[in-house]
A and B are shown apart, each in its own frame.
Chain A
Amino acid sequence: MQTMPDTVFKSLADPTRRAIFECLVSDGEQTVRALTDRTHVSQPMVSKHLGVLKHAGLVNDRPEGRSVFYRADAQGLAPLVDWMKFYRAFWAGKFDQLEDLLNRMDQ
């Protein structure tokens, strides 16, 4: 799924979601229950946050028996990396245009 950088930024703008995502990044796959214990946030809230992260392509889920395991998806951060690439190219172009303008200006 191709996600826009804005979706990734928005989903990570919330500190609780960031904490949940960070938890999955550092400690690997976990259930909602484990995340609830770790973050001290209610289970419905954790589920809601996971839904947003999943929509942004930042987490994947995997049902196993009666539990669902969630894990961070590094590929979900690709739009963020693309954003950096975009701005590098953007500023290189703008520097060229700035220099062109300076060459055309008097004195």
Chain B
Amino acid sequence: MTTDTDARTVVMEREMSHPPEKVWRALTQSALMQEWLMTNDFQPVVGHRFNLRAQPMPQWDGIIDCEVLTIEPCAALSYTWNTASSGMKTVVSWTLTSTAKGTLVRMEQSGFRPEEENNYQGAKYGWPRFITALEQVVSLLD
């Protein structure tokens, strides 16, 4: 199931018939991450910087720069997801919720970080405000 909280966030949720502890291992053990996500040098330590490496594509080297932001064992994990040499910065957040069947796995990738806020001529022209204008324009696209 895919839902959008707003135009700058990708959200994906799925209930999986496995306990949170097991899902957590798949999300945080480097060797297991490599099996379903990408080659990586992840460590479950806040502040740890790591790379995810995808197949290079034309105009993209396939490298994603990440930094662990939060670690709450079996419950929550988030890291930055930035592509090198670009102004594009996102955060990927995972939330695990125990259910009768197993675990509700939720992934949210938010497109623009609050740190992008900048002061411009005394007025805030940061991403959040800009995005409001952007959404109006995007809604005009088919």
A66 within 8 A of B: no
**What total of chain B residues lie within 8 Å of the partner, measured CB to CB?**
42
Q: How far is the CB of A76 from chain B (nearest CB, A)?
A: 9
Interface contact B133-A102, CB-CB below 8 Å: no
- List the one stretch of B20-28, B39-47, B68-76 in contact with chain A: B20-28
- Picked from B37, B86, B125, the residue with its CB within 8 Å of the CB of A15 is B125
Interface contact B130-A95, CB-CB below 8 Å: no
Q: A18-B130, A87-B10 are in contact. Are A94 and B87 (CB under 8 A)?
A: no
Q: Which residues of B contact A102 (CB under 8 A)?
A: 16, 18, 22-23, 26
Nearest-CB residue, chain A, relative to B57: A4
Interface contact B125-A19, CB-CB below 8 Å: yes
Nearest-CB residue, chain A, relative to B27: A98
Q: Which residues of B contact A25 (CB under 8 A)?
A: 133-134, 136-137
B83 within 8 A of A: yes
Docked complex: A64-107 residues within 8 A CB-CB of B: 72, 74-75, 77-78, 80-81, 83-84, 87-88, 91-92, 94-95, 97-102, 105, 107
Docked complex: B75-111 residues within 8 A CB-CB of A: 83, 85-88, 105, 107, 109, 111
Interface contact A81-B36, CB-CB below 8 Å: no
B9-34 interface bits toward A, Cβ cutoff 8 Å, 1 = contact, 0 = none: 01010101010001101110000100
Q: How far is the CB of B76 from chain A (nearest CB, A)?
A: 16
Q: How far is the CB of A10 from chain B (nearest CB, A)?
A: 5
Nearest-CB residue, chain A, relative to B13: A95
Q: Which residues of A contact B120 (CB under 8 A)?
A: 15-16, 19
Nearest-CB residue, chain A, relative to B36: A97
Q: Which residues of B contact A101 (CB under 8 A)?
A: 26, 32, 35-36
Known: A72-B137, A84-B111. 11 other contacts (CB 8 A): A4-B59, A5-B88, A12-B87, A16-B120, A18-B127, A18-B130, A19-B125, A74-B140, A77-B138, A95-B105, A105-B26
Q: How far is the CB of B81 from chain A (nearest CB, A)?
A: 9
21 contacts between A and B (CB under 8 A): A9-B86, A10-B86, A19-B120, A25-B134, A75-B141, A77-B138, A78-B141, A80-B134, A84-B10, A87-B109, A91-B109, A92-B2, A92-B12, A94-B37, A95-B12, A95-B14, A97-B35, A98-B23, A98-B26, A99-B14, A102-B18
